[in-house]
Chains A and B, each alone.
Chain A
Amino acid sequence: KQEVTQIPAALSVPEGENLVLNCSFTDSAIYNLQWFRQDPGKGLTSLLLIQSSQREQTSGRLNASLDKSSGRSTLYIAASQPGDSATYLCAVDHTDKLIFGTGTRLQVFP
């Protein structure tokens, strides 16, 4: 059974820091991996999608990498800002269904 784990569960950093969020999964047979952002009381917004054949994707200050063989993905946020404060969820597309991790709650303080 596919299981997705995210570490750390919560993170609080000062503005300007570069930071890394981790996601691990138990079954490497995935179609893709996605990173989402969730603001309090809101739905999810897709940030990055990495196909199984890709190693990384970049969007602005965000960079996500994927290592299928080790079952790991990282989301790198450069020069963090208070507006980055949110919960970040990773999800693996496994047998055409998304399996979500429990998320990392990020707070960036001025």
Chain B
Amino acid sequence: NAGVTQTPKFRILKIGQSMTLQCTQDMNHNYMYWYRQDPGMGLKLIYYSVGAGITDKGEVPNGYNVSRSTTEDFPLRLELAAPSQTSVYFCASTPAGSYEQYFGPGTRLTVT
């Protein structure tokens, strides 16, 4: 198993541009999550999904959108990038009946 994979690893965006951060897991996990981590801070939940077709907002959802059309994929969309969205983004997944989260390696995004 590759586990949780994220692409791209790094990205620089100009203000107002859009992009999609990709997240894929091959463990057939039901639950998937998107977090952001600002420098020197803990992780904050952006959106999460309990299964295909179901998504819900986390603590800091403004400026982001998600979809979950398959069990494997959980892309995160930034529509109008702002400097405040400069951060490291982590995707994670959890199997049903478990509390343990498996994290991807992260995407480092800079908006200038």
Q: A97 contacts the other chain (Cβ, under 8 Å)?
A: yes
Interface range, A side = 20 to 34
State which of A34, A43, A89 has its C-beta within 8 Å of the C-beta of B42: A89
The residue among A4, A34, A44, A100 with the most chain B CB atoms within 10 A of its own CB is A44
Q: A86 contacts the other chain (Cβ, under 8 Å)?
A: no
Q: B17 contacts the other chain (Cβ, under 8 Å)?
A: no
Nearest Cβ in chain A — how far from B59, in angstroms? 8
Which residues in B have their C-beta under 8 angstroms from that of A93?
Answer: 99
Which residues in A have their C-beta under 8 angstroms from that of B4?
Answer: 43
Q: Knowing A42-B105, A46-B100 touch, does A100 contact B44 (C-beta < 8 A)?
A: yes
**Mask of A6-46 contacts with B, CB within 8 angstroms, 1/0:** 00000000000000000000000001101000000111111
Nearest Cβ in chain B — how far from A86, in angstroms? 14
Alpha-carbon distance between A103 and B45 when the two chains are bound, in angstroms: 16
Nearest Cβ in chain B — how far from A51, in angstroms? 8
Which residues in B have their C-beta under 8 angstroms from that of A89?
Answer: 42-43
Which residues in A have their C-beta under 8 angstroms from that of B40?
Answer: 102
Question: Is A34 within 8 A of B100, CB to CB?
Answer: yes
Question: Is B42 within 8 A of A100, CB to CB?
Answer: yes
Question: Is A43 within 8 A of B43, CB to CB?
Answer: no
Which residues in A have their C-beta under 8 angstroms from that of B99?
Answer: 31-32, 34, 49, 51, 93
Q: B90 contacts the other chain (Cβ, under 8 Å)?
A: yes
Question: Is B103 within 8 A of A45, CB to CB?
Answer: yes
Q: Which 7 A-B pairs have the closest CB atoms?
A: A100-B42, A43-B103, A44-B103, A100-B43, A43-B105, A102-B42, A101-B42
Q: A98 contacts the other chain (Cβ, under 8 Å)?
A: yes
Nearest Cβ in chain B — how far from A11, in angstroms? 15
A-B contact pairs, 19 of them (CB 8 A): A32-B99, A42-B105, A43-B103, A43-B104, A44-B92, A44-B103, A45-B103, A46-B100, A46-B101, A46-B102, A91-B43, A93-B99, A97-B59, A98-B43, A98-B45, A98-B101, A100-B43, A100-B44, A101-B42
Beyond contacts A43-B90, A49-B100, A97-B45: 18 other A-B pairs, Cβ-Cβ < 8 A, are A4-B42, A31-B99, A32-B99, A34-B100, A43-B103, A44-B43, A44-B90, A44-B92, A45-B103, A46-B102, A89-B42, A89-B43, A91-B43, A97-B58, A98-B45, A100-B42, A100-B43, A100-B44
